[in-house]
Structure 1
């Protein structure tokens, strides 16, 4: 899967580089990796996002496809995320669908041109993954996230995330149930070395519960520091292609974990907004 994704990424970049980008540069903005930015989609513009991450220690991997739609303007945004994953210790040893996410975001403050932007998100997590194979929670989950984006200087932007997930009646592989809560905290710094080339440093912390028995829970923390890069290719028809690469490194409770993270986004106008 990793080799296939790398080939697709390489072919996409090669095709884009051979094309002529005639439109003036459009700065990269809503293409963060582990930490979510607070910019909803512009009116009429749809984004298609693919990510692939592989843990170099456990060899688990996760591919996600996300599609974001303005409804119909910047104030409201709907999206969905389809995860396809492989868990090495799954009893069936297969790769399959995980829990699908349905997302709504509200642009509470600011936009892509503001110094400060806030866009809270609510997500419904559907139990489409098989919890018996360690690919899902076995119950409907509810997630809330507060992303805040701040322009510090002309060339430095930071994003902050605070989130929580509640999954009542979650199941483990043995079918035992418990109500689970997970807390997440993230921060990133984006250096705008060029409108079309950015260096990134992200910090992602989570404290999550798992089902340890009937009504019993165990908590585990995770903390990753992730350096990365992204760049953009802009075209006359409004298409923007953004590939990226990062290397999440486990620290503290996750010391020893190492991953590789690939990102590929296609963003383009889908319709002409009414004036």
Structure 2
């Protein structure tokens, strides 16, 4: 079967299997309120609850992949949240022949300005420091400290339909390319997702993510770059004793516009539990 038909078929099969499985179980009391795949939802962690998130993205055409691990911690209450994101990636075009290595790590702070997981509208801006832990000589980082801001807004549109909107910007002064050339670069991101709450423990998802940015093209020179993906996906939850919630999920990555022709897969797994 060709890849163009394999991913949608796999998504449909998993959604059907999950629906059948959960139909045989009693209703759950804890709904999924998790990070979206390509976007952020505007819900900070509840007091005393931490979350461990793993994601894996692989693109078919380029062969590139990236794995991220994120740890989210509430700071006293739900208003303040800290998290750390550690990426490991492989770039097929890197000078080292596509060896895997760490990318630039992110230390994130989010403030719950409006609402929470039970509100119709929630808003929680995020500020991040991007530390140059990746090897920029191999294309796995920018070589200097970067700054990122993101504005996630979540809105309940109907009883079973929620949308999440993101607008963000990343700025890296003195970013370096493979040859050591430096330039200040800026990247903008925008996205929207629609989450259908098929059951409390089963969500069907459709996300769109677009980035418009720059890469270093020489001393003080910048070259524009863009990407755009649509991602249909599914996630479900297993609610286990002592408050542990396990949420696996997957999505197809379909390139559109500047990324037309690219395909990929996105895998997701989170563990959420009280301290």
TM-score (norm 1): 0.89
Which secondary structure does the structure 2 equivalent of 1:41 belong to? Answer: coil
Corresponding residue for residue 47 of structure 1? 51
Corresponding residue for residue 90 of structure 2? 86
Aligned residue among 134, 137, 146 for 2:139: 134
Corresponding residue for residue 178 of structure 1? 183
Corresponding residue for residue 80 of structure 2? 76
Mapping 1:214-225, distance limit 5 Å: 214-225=219-230
Aligned-residue RMSD, C-alpha: 1.3
Q: Which runs of 4+ in 1 moved over 3 A?
A: 21-24
Corresponding residue for residue 257 of structure 1? 262
Distance 2:268 2:215 in 1: 28
1:196 aligns with 2:201: yes
Which secondary structure does the structure 2 equivalent of 1:198 belong to? Answer: strand
Distance 2:27 2:273 in 1: 13
Distance 1:149 1:27 in 2: 16
Corresponding residue for residue 205 of structure 1? 210
Q: Residues 108-163 of structure 1, C-alpha deviation per residue, up to 9 Å, x if partnerless?
A: 00000000000000000000001110000011100000000000001000000000
Indicate if the aligned counterparts of 2:28 and 2:200 stay in contact, CA closer than 8 A: no
Q: Residues 47-93 of structure 1, C-alpha deviation per residue, up to 9 Å, x if partnerless?
A: 00000010111111100000000001100000000000101111112
Indicate if the aligned counterparts of 1:146 and 1:162 stay in contact, CA closer than 8 A: yes
Which ranges in structure 2 are unaligned for 5 or more consecutive residues?
A: 1-20
Distance 1:195 1:103 in 2: 28
How far the C-alpha of 1:22 sits from its partner, in A, is: 8.7
Indicate if the aligned counterparts of 2:145 and 2:173 stay in contact, CA closer than 8 A: yes
Indicate if the aligned counterparts of 1:22 and 1:236 stay in contact, CA closer than 8 A: no
Mapping 1:6-17, distance limit 5 Å: none
Corresponding residue for residue 166 of structure 1? 171
Aligned residue among 26, 29, 45 for 2:30: 26
Distance 2:153 2:69 in 1: 23
Corresponding residue for residue 158 of structure 2? 153
Corresponding residue for residue 115 of structure 2? 110
Which ranges in structure 1 are unaligned for 5 or more consecutive residues?
A: 1-16, 271-275
